[in-house]
Every structure is written in structure tokens, then in C-alpha cells.
Amino acid sequence: MNCRIVDMKNKEVINVEDGCRIGCVNDVEVDMKCARLVAIIVYGRLKCFGIFGREEDIVIKWENIEVVGEDTILVKYHPSCRRKKRFWWLPIIAKGWK
């Protein structure tokens, strides 16, 4: 199966270790000497709607990519895939309203 870099652009990246959705492919890293794909890059999440920038980008080496499917890419990714709870304060406010 052949796949263009443009086709990889919006594929969803899933961690096979815990089923966590990492994000969508936003960029790729290519070795210009060998003309081969080295890594895929998923941009970090926005902080406060982008006002405070974004989190660090996630770089996944080609060796850690398990399967490239039609819509998704399955990867082995270890460091800090645990996402922060988006609304950690919501249960605290809800408790006060009871």
C-alpha cells in the first residue's frame, strides 16, 4: 500500500498500549539524505484556547509505528500519554450545588 504524506496529514493517532487517542498527524519529519520518513509529529494541545500557547509537540519515531490504516495510525507511545482532565474543577462546583 502506498501512502502520500498529504494523505497522512489528518489520520488519527492511537496508542496501542492503552487505547489513548493521541491526536491527528500534523507534520512529518523526513531524512533528506536517505529520503525516508523518520517520524510523525502531533501538535500539542492548546492551552486556554491558544492564549497561553500550546503543550509540547509529540514526536513519534517511525520504529514505534505499528500499523498505518486508512483512517488511523496505531503506535507504541510511552511517555506521558495520560491526558489531563479537561474540566477538573467541574465536579467540585457540581458538589457545591447539591
E strand map for the chain: 12-15, 21-24, 27-31, 36-42, 58-61, 65-68, 72-75
Check residue 47 and give its pLDDT. Answer: 75
Strands 36-42 and 21-24: unpaired
pTM of the model: 0.69
Q: Which residues of the chain have pLDDT under 50?
A: 81
Check residue 41 and give its pLDDT. Answer: 92
